[in-house]
Amino acid sequence: MNVEVSYLYRDASNYKQYESVVVKLVDVDKPEGLESLLREQFADLQVWPDVLHFRPEGLGWPTAYFEDHDEGGDDLELHEIESIVATKKAPFDHLL
């Protein structure tokens, strides 16, 4: 099953930049299963209970950081999952 994962980066000023990737799920039969896997893999990054935070670079996915992203300043180094939906689009290179 292929799913499109839409996510965003929110900087310290609350400006947002969006990204998405299509992945082929191998051992998961529902989009919700991917959310559970991501929450488990990135458990130490969870800041708020209603937001799934992760680092796309840890999965080989593109980031949505702004060009002037300041890792040493107030900007978080986390992205937020916006949605995970089944799709017929072709997948990105990485399998989950």
Judged on CB neighbours under 10 Å (0-12, 13-18, 19+), 23 is buried
Collect all residues with Cβ–Cβ distance below 8 Å to 89 and sequence separation of at least 6: 2, 4, 22
Residue 30 scores a pLDDT above 60: yes
Q: What values do phi and psi take at 81, rounded to 5?
A: -70, 130
User: Which pLDDT does position 95 carry in this prediction?
Assistant: 52
Q: Computed from CA positions of residues 91, 92, 94, 96, in that sequence, does the dihedral angle turn out positive or negative?
A: negative
pTM for the full predicted model: 0.87
| Tens-digit pLDDT profile for residues 51-71 | 999 999 999 999 999 887 767
Here the tokens at position 63 are 């980031």
* Domain range annotation of the chain: 2-87
C-alpha span between 79 and 81 (Å, rounded) = 7
